Amino acid sequence: MTVRLPGYDRTFRVPHDLAHLVAEREFRLARGVFGCIAAGAMFTNMSLVEGRTRYDARARSRAVLRANAAELGLAECLSGVVHDAVEYELEAGAAYRRLRESWGALRPEPCPYRPADLRRAVDVLDELGRRWRTVGPGERLALRWTMPAGPVPVSRSDRRPATARRARAVASR
């Protein structure tokens, strides 16, 4: 299925949704905005370009968004840091402090990302931002979402204790 996510924020050098794509991929967030879209979520500004919607598309979308609310919030914070670092050309140390503060506002454990991780995300977004600025009215920047490679940082709040996993396994028989 192919969907269109229009970029309305031409007032910025880089669209916020593009920052989401980059941050979620570079920080390996499999359940952020784009992971949710891949799982069947549809946001109100999206439209179907190719393929068919599921028979239960609305219910599926609500369930996916509800199940991934915590990581969606994290994705929003981290993509905001990456977006602002590019948009306002933040100094690397200041941007990294903002990344750690954003992580700490939502998760109790130390931020798992290093300054190099943020630098890579900022560089990728900066390059895509240059490409975006060459896109004229009515044109598009087509990008493909692939699930992030490598281990996905999991917060303690996302981990179920072993007893909860066993209880779910027993209940599903």
pLDDT higher than 90, residue 130: yes
Determine the Cα–Cα distance for residues 96 and 161; give it in Å rounded to an integer: 32
Number of domains observed in the structure of the chain? 1
Please give the pLDDT value at position 10: 62
Cα separations in angstroms, 86 against 54, 67, 104: 37, 30, 21
Among all chains, which residue has been given the structure tokens 């919607």? 53
Please give the pLDDT value at position 154: 45
Any idea what DSSP says for residue 158?
Answer: G
* Segment 8-23 mean pLDDT: 84
The residue among 7 and 68 whose pLDDT is bigger is 68
- How many separate helices (H) and strands (E) can be counted in the chain? 7, 2
What proportions of the chain, in percent to the nearest 5, are helix, strand and coil? 55, 5, 40
Residue 158: pLDDT band with limits 50, 70, 90: very low
Please state, for a pLDDT cut of 70, what percent of the chain lies above it: 83
Determine the Cα–Cα distance for residues 109 and 103; give it in Å rounded to an integer: 9
Please give the pLDDT value at position 3: 86
Please give the pLDDT value at position 112: 97
pLDDT higher than 70, residue 35: yes
For residue 54, give its domain range. Answer: 2-171
Indicate the average pLDDT of the chain. 85
* Highest mean pLDDT pick, 72-76, 132-136, 160-164: 72-76
Please give the pLDDT value at position 160: 40
Would you say how long the chain is, in residues? 173
Minimal CA–CA distance to 77: which of 113, 123, 45, 44? 113
pLDDT higher than 70, residue 7: no
The residue among 13 and 8 whose pLDDT is bigger is 13
* Segment 30-53 mean pLDDT: 92
